[in-house]
Amino acid sequence: MTPPNAHISPALYSGSVVHRRVQPKSHLLNYRVFNLLLDLDRLEDIGPLHINRPGLLTFYERDHGDGKGDLKLWVRTRLRDAGIAPDDLSLHVLCYPRILGYAFNPITVYFATHADGETAAILYQVNNTMSERHTYVIPVSVGDTPPFRQSCDKAMYVSPFTPMQSRYSFSIVPPGDDVCISIRQDGDEGHILNASFTGNRQALTPANLWASLAKHPLMTLKVIAGIHYEAFHLWRKGVPIFRFEPQSRGEISIILPPTSKKQTEPA
C-alpha cells in the first residue's frame, strides 16, 4: 500500500468500481475502468490525451470544478475557504477522461499535497445525472496516515434509491503504487451501501493510454449506461424511490474538525 509520505505524480490507474448495497435489498455491481491522475500545474497533451481541445481521449477543465475552466484556481479558492494556504501545495485530480467526446464522473477526487508528500486536504466532487455538482472539502489532520478516514453529511440528491438524510464515510488510500477511494453511506435505518474504486498505477505514457483505450473504448458511455441499467434492476427489486430534490444549499461543503471555530455548513 502507499506509504504516508509518497509523492503524488501523474499516472493512469486501472482497476474496478464496486457497488455493494446492503439494504433494503442486496445488490452488487462490479466493472472495470481506468482513471487519470493529472497534475493541475502541468496539464499537457500526452499521446492520444488532449487537454482542453477535441480528440479521441480528452480532459477538459470545464468538466470539473465550477465549469468555468480554470480548475487550479477553483481548487485553490476552495482550499483558502477551508483555511488552507494553497500556494505551496501540489494539486492533482483523479477522474475519468472524455472518450469520443463524452464523460460522466459520478465522483472526481482532488488531492492537495505538501512538498514532503503529506496530504493537506481532499476534495470530493459528486455529480448527479441532473447536471448538479457538490464538492465536499475536507482537510486532513496533521499527522494522519493512510487510509484517511473522513466523513460528512450528504448535501445533494444523487440517486432515486438513496435518501437525502444520510452520511458519507470515506476511506482513502491516496495515489501511489495503488489508489483506493471507498465510500460508505449510512441513513436513519443504518448502513445502506458501499462504493469503491481500487486501481493499480501505470505510467502515464502514450502506449499505456492507447492500451487503455483499446481495452475500454466505450468506457464513459458504459458508466452512464450502467447507472440506468442498475437503476432498472433496483426498481425491479422493489427498492423505494426518493423524489428528486434540487440542490438548495450551495455547491460547496467545507468540513472542518470539531474544534475549529469556522463554519462547517455548506458554503
Pairing of β 57-59 and β 49-51: parallel
> What is the torsional sign of CA 110, 114, 117, 120?
negative
Instruction: Detail the DSSP E strand segments found in the chain.
Output: 11-21, 27-39, 49-51, 57-59, 90-95, 98-99, 107-113, 119-127, 133-139, 148-153, 166-173, 178-187, 190-202, 252-254
**Does the pLDDT of residue 7 top 80, yes or no?**
no
- At residue 262, the pLDDT reads 45
Give yes or no for residue 256 having a pLDDT over 90.
no
Average pLDDT over residues 11-20: 96
User: Number of helices (H) and strands (E), helices first, in the chain?
Assistant: 3, 14
What's residue 72's pLDDT?
97
Q: Is 73 left (phi over 0), alpha (psi -120 to 50) or beta?
A: alpha
For 207-239, what is each residue's pLDDT tens digit?
999 999 999 999 998 899 888 888 888 989 999
Residue 196 pLDDT exceeds 80: yes
- Banded pLDDT at 8 (limits 50, 70, 90): confident
Percent of the chain with pLDDT over 90: 82
What is the C-alpha to C-alpha distance for residues 225 and 227, in angstroms, rounded to an integer? 5
User: What confidence score (pLDDT) does residue 229 get?
Assistant: 85
- Per-residue pLDDT tens for 96-146? 999 999 999 999 999 999 999 999 999 999 999 999 999 999 999 988 999
pLDDT for residue 150 is more than 70: yes
pLDDT > 70 fraction of the chain, expressed in percent and rounded: 94
Report how far residue 193's alpha carbon sits from residue 243's, in angstroms, rounded to the nearest whole number: 19
Burial class (CB in 10 A: 0-12, 13-18, 19+), 198: middle
pLDDT at 267 over 80: no
What is the DSSP secondary structure assignment for residue 34, as one 8-state letter? E
Arithmetic mean of pLDDT over the chain? 91
User: Does the pLDDT value for residue 2 go beyond 50?
Assistant: no
From residue 4, how far is each of 39, 84, 139 by CA, in Å?
Answer: 19, 20, 16
CB-based burial of residue 248 (10 Å sphere; 0-12 exposed, 13-18 middle, 19+ buried)?
exposed
Q: What is the pLDDT of residue 143?
A: 86
Tell me which residue has cell 470539473.
Answer: 64
d(Cα 184, Cα 149) in Å, to the nearest integer? 11
* pLDDT above 80 for 5: no
Q: How confident is the model at residue 77 (pLDDT cuts 50, 70, 90)?
A: very high
Query: CA 214 to CA 210: how far, in whole Å?
Result: 6
Residue 264 has pLDDT above 90, yes or no: no
